[in-house]
């Protein structure tokens, strides 16, 4: 049997949990921006119960470690660390932007994807990816970008040359599509707005695990630093 992995993501408005067990995927997701801390462990219990296993039978934790809401990212990282510490499990950090690209590939067979998450303050978190045999592979690293045409970014020529159609995924496109792409060169996937833990399970296959104490949030904003759990 392949590894049993439990994925957790609370970095955006959506609280999402997924469990891979054998050839099955059990998942829960709900848009509850102010209730993640109350909902996430309940979702964990539900998917474990549906699969008929306990946390002791899980081989690793997959964590959506950002970028996204500062509070949401902290909740997801802390919960993932706590579960991993409790059973000495490795943690697979997965970017929320990569998960959006993977969702676009899974649902729409997208060949090139620009993921953009609304970062407020007239900015977006953004990264670009290509479809490599069904897996989202990064072309550019996650960064903070102003509300300006993305074709002005240094990586635009590279991603636009990778496919005939470049797809857009994430809340950044819904909020600021006209500013990011005034020439409508990107095909925005309106159904792909928030990352799902299901896609993080897929991406964990190409992610290197870390020890729980080594897991740190991907904030992107340079002025924010992370304090690890007390005593870690």
Residues 103, 81 within the same domain: no
Give the DSSP H/E element, type plus range, for residue 126: strand 123-132
| 140: CATH | 3.30.420.40
> Using CA atoms, how far apart are residues 24 and 172, in angstroms rounded to an integer?
31
Residues 21, 87 within the same domain: yes
pLDDT at 199: 98
Residues 90, 109 within the same domain: no
CA proximity to 101, closest of 193, 185, 19 = 193
What is the band of 227 on the pLDDT scale with cuts at 50, 70, 90? very low
Residues 110, 183 within the same domain: yes
Residues 89, 146 within the same domain: no
Residues 141, 87 within the same domain: no
Residues 13, 123 within the same domain: no
pLDDT over threshold 50, residue 229: no
Question: What is the tens place of the pLDDT at every residue in 124-148?
Answer: 999 999 999 999 999 999 999 999 9
Question: What is the tens place of the pLDDT at every residue in 144-173?
Answer: 999 999 999 999 999 999 999 999 999 999
pLDDT over threshold 70, residue 1: no
Does 34 fall in a domain? yes
Could you give the number of structural domains in the chain? 2
Mean pLDDT, to the nearest integer, of 18-31?
Answer: 96
pLDDT over threshold 70, residue 230: no
Residues 89, 202 within the same domain: yes
Does 43 fall in a domain? yes
Say which residue, 81 or 1, is predicted with more confidence. Answer: 81
Cis-peptide, bond into residue 67, ω within 30° of zero:
yes
Does 228 fall in a domain? no
Q: Cβ–Cβ contacts within 10 Å for residue 46, how many?
A: 15
> Using CA atoms, how far apart are residues 114 and 156, in angstroms rounded to an integer?
10
Range of the domain at 203: 5-95+196-214
DSSP string of 16-45, one letter each residue: EEEEEETTEEEEEEEE-TT-HHHHHHHHHH
Say which residue, 176 or 207, is predicted with more confidence. Answer: 176
Give the DSSP H/E element, type plus range, for residue 135: strand 135-146
Alpha helices in the chain (DSSP H): 36-51, 70-87, 96-108, 156-160, 171-180, 197-203
């Amino acid at each position: 049997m392949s590894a049993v992995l439990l994925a957790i993501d609370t970095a955006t408005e959506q609280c999402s949990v997924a469990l891979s067990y054998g050839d099955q995927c059990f998942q829960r997701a709900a848009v509850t921006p102010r209730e993640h801390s109350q909902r996430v462990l309940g979702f964990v219990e539900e998917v474990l119960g549906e699969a008929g296993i306990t946390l002791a039978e899980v081989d690793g934790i997959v964590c959506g470690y950002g970028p996204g809401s500062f509070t949401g990212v902290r909740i997801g990282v802390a919960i993932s660390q706590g579960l991993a510490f409790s059973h000495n499990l490795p943690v697979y950090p997965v970017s929320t932007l990569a998960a959006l690209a993977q969702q676009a590939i899974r649902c729409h067979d997208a060949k090139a994807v620009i993921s953009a998450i609304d970062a407020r303050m007239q900015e977006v978190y953004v990264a670009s990816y290509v479809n490599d045999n069904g897996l989202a592979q990064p072309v550019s690293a996650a960064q903070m970008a102003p509300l300006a045409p993305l074709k002005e970014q240094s990586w635009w020529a590279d991603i636009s040359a990778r496919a005939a159609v470049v797809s857009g995924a994430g809340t950044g496109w819904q909020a600021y599509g006209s500013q990011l792409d005034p020439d409508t060169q990107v095909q925005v996937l309106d159904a792909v707005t928030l990352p799902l833990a299901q896609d993080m399970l897929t991406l964990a296959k190409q992610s290197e695990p870390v020890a729980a104490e080594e897991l740190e949030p991907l904030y992107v904003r340079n002025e924010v630093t992370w304090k690890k759990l007390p005593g870690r």
